[in-house]
Structure 1
C-alpha cells in the first residue's frame, strides 16, 4: 500500500480518533481540535475532512494522515504506512487486534437489551455481565455493511460502541454524566464505560453514594470542568498511562478534595483490567 492509496482511503478523523483526539468544535466539513503536541484552552488544529488534511495555526504546520502518524509516533514513513494499513482492512474480523473503524455516514438500525451470544460472552470476558442493563445492543449500518456492538450513550446522543473487534463512536463525541435522584456532593470519574461498569459491579451490594462521570476520552475533560465545580469530593478512576496521568494532574491542580483511586489497580492499565486479571 503506497502513500497515495493510503491518503485516498484513510480518513483523517479516524486517524486522530485512534490517538484519542476528538473535535472540540465541528461542522460537516471541518473541525477544530486541540493541538497534537501541547496543552491549550483554545483549539488551534484545524481539520478539513474533505481535503483530508489538518493545519496547526499555532505552528503553521500542515498534516496529512501519514505525517500525523509520523509526528505522534515519531516514526518513519514506512512505519506510518504500516500503522495506517489497519484502517484499510478494518472489516477483516479475523484479526485479533482491536481497531478503530473509519467513521463514515452511518444509520442505527436497532437498539435493544444485550442478548446476542457474542456480546454476552464479551461482557462476561470483561467481568461486567451483571451490569448489562446499563448498556445496549446496537445494530448499525456503515459503508453499506451492517455491524453490531455494545452501546453506551453520551450526552450528545452519540454511542460509544465496543465489541471484540472494534472500538468506535457513532455520532458526536461527548461525556456521560449519570446522576442519582438525590443531590450528591461526591462524583467518581472514569475514562471509559467499562471502568464505570466495573465500579458498579464492585458496589452492586451497596447503595450508590455518588454521581458518575464517564469522559469517553481524556480529550473530553474540558466539557466536564464546569460540572466538577458542583462537587466537594472527586474520586478519580483513570488509566495508568500518560493520558490518564495528565488528566489526573489537571483535575488535582484545579479542584480540591481529589482522591486518586488508581492506587487500587496501580499494577494494571485500568480498573477493568485489574478486575479481569487480578485475584479478588
Structure 2
C-alpha cells in the first residue's frame, strides 16, 4: 500500500478501526471528540465529500496520512505497514473496482481435513467441538495456492485464518449462527423467535465461547470488523437479551460503549477475561496453565439457558456457575 491508496480509504473507517465514533453526523460531515486529546465538546470534523479532516481546537487538518502521523507519532513507512494489516473493507472495494478480474479464486470448500489447520486450532485452545462451525477453504492468490480455516459470513464471504495468514475473501459482512442447548448449530437462521444473542468481534473468540460454554441456547453474532458496527447494531434490534464479549483494548471498549448506548440492558462479560485482550487469549492461557474447573479458584459466569423459559419457549439469560480460572 502507498500513500495515495491509503488516503483513498474512508477516514470514517480508519477512525472506527481505532475506536473513535462520531458524536453527530450527516451525509456530508461527521464530528468527533478530539482523537489526540481529551475534550468534552467535539471539535474534530470529517468532511466525507473530500475525505479530509480538520481539528478546530488546534487549527490543523489534512488527509489520512496526516492524521496517522499525528495519531501514532511515527514514520510514513510504519503508517503504511499498519494500514496494510488492517484489512480495510473500503480499500478492498476500490481494488475490486480497479481490477476487472480478481487476483484470487476459491478452489474448494470442504469440511476440515488438513492436519496443519487442526494443529493450528489446537494451539488456539480449540477442539473438535468447533468443527461444525468452520470450513477448510482452499484458494489461489496470484499463482500461489493456499489453504485456511474459513468462517462464512451472511453475504457468502469468508474470514480466513491459518498460522501464517489472516484475511478474507469475497464480500465483508457479519456472521450469524445459532447455537442450541445440545450444541448443534447452523448459520443464517431465518424466521425464528430467538431472543438471546452473544456478540464477538472475531470468529476465534466466538469459537472460544462455543468451546467454553456449557449450556447456551441462542444466536451468536460475529462482527468480523468493528467497521461493521452499524450493521451489527441493526441485527441486535431483533433480540431482547444481548451479551457482549468484545476485546479489552481501546477499540473494543469503545465499540462496547456504543452498543450499550443503543441497548442499555446489554450485559458486558469482558470481566471474565479482564487480564487478557480477548476471549481466545484467555482460553489459550487456561490451556497452557492447565486450568481446570476443579482446581480454579474464581468462578466465571457465562450466559446459560433458563429451563423454565425453555419450557415456555422464551429463552432468557441466566447466570450460573461456569468455568473457573486461577488469579
TM-score normalised to structure 1 length: 0.72
1:241 alignment partner, one of 237, 246, 249: 249
Aligned residues: 239
- Contact 1:189–1:234 under 8 Å retained in 2: yes
Offset of 1:67 from its aligned partner?
A: 4.5
Q: Which runs of 5+ in 1 are unaligned?
A: 23-32, 46-53, 89-97
Offset of 1:148 from its aligned partner?
A: 1.4
Q: Please state if 1:147 is matched with 2:142.
A: no
Over 3 Å counting, the alpha-carbon distance change for 1:165 and 1:274 in structure 2 is: same
Offset of 1:69 from its aligned partner?
A: 4.5
Question: 1-side partners of 2:9 and 2:285: how far apart?
Answer: 30
Question: 2-side partners of 1:191 and 1:237: how far apart?
Answer: 8
1:109 alignment partner, one of 107, 110, 113: 107
Q: Which runs of 5+ in 2 are unaligned?
A: 30-48, 56-60, 96-101, 180-188, 293-327
Over 3 Å counting, the alpha-carbon distance change for 1:197 and 1:67 in structure 2 is: same
Q: Secondary structure at the match of 1:164?
A: coil
Question: 2-side partners of 1:173 and 1:74: how far apart?
Answer: 30
Over 3 Å counting, the alpha-carbon distance change for 1:171 and 1:69 in structure 2 is: farther
What residue in structure 2 maps to residue 94 of structure 1? none
Offset of 1:113 from its aligned partner?
A: 1.4
Q: Please state if 1:80 is matched with 2:79.
A: no
- Contact 1:232–1:256 under 8 Å retained in 2: no
The structure with the largest alpha-carbon Rg is 2
Over 3 Å counting, the alpha-carbon distance change for 1:243 and 1:20 in structure 2 is: farther
Q: Secondary structure at the match of 1:169?
A: strand
TM-score normalised to structure 2 length: 0.62
Over 3 Å counting, the alpha-carbon distance change for 1:87 and 1:241 in structure 2 is: closer
Offset of 1:87 from its aligned partner?
A: 8.8
Over 3 Å counting, the alpha-carbon distance change for 1:235 and 1:99 in structure 2 is: closer
1:196 alignment partner, one of 206, 213, 217: 206
Deviation string for 1:1-56 (max 9, x for gaps)?
A: xxxx9558xx539x969x9948xxxxxxxxxx9697652655769xxxxxxxx942
- Contact 2:229–2:255 under 8 Å retained in 1: yes
Offset of 1:183 from its aligned partner?
A: 2.3
Q: Secondary structure at the match of 1:199?
A: helix
Question: 1-side partners of 2:256 and 2:175: how far apart?
Answer: 18
What residue in structure 2 maps to residue 56 of structure 1? 51
Q: Secondary structure at the match of 1:184?
A: coil
Offset of 1:71 from its aligned partner?
A: 4.5
Which deviates more, 107-116 or 55-64?
A: 55-64
CA RMSD, Structure 1 to Structure 2 (Å): 3.6
Over 3 Å counting, the alpha-carbon distance change for 1:256 and 1:85 in structure 2 is: closer
Q: Please state if 1:276 is matched with 2:284.
A: yes
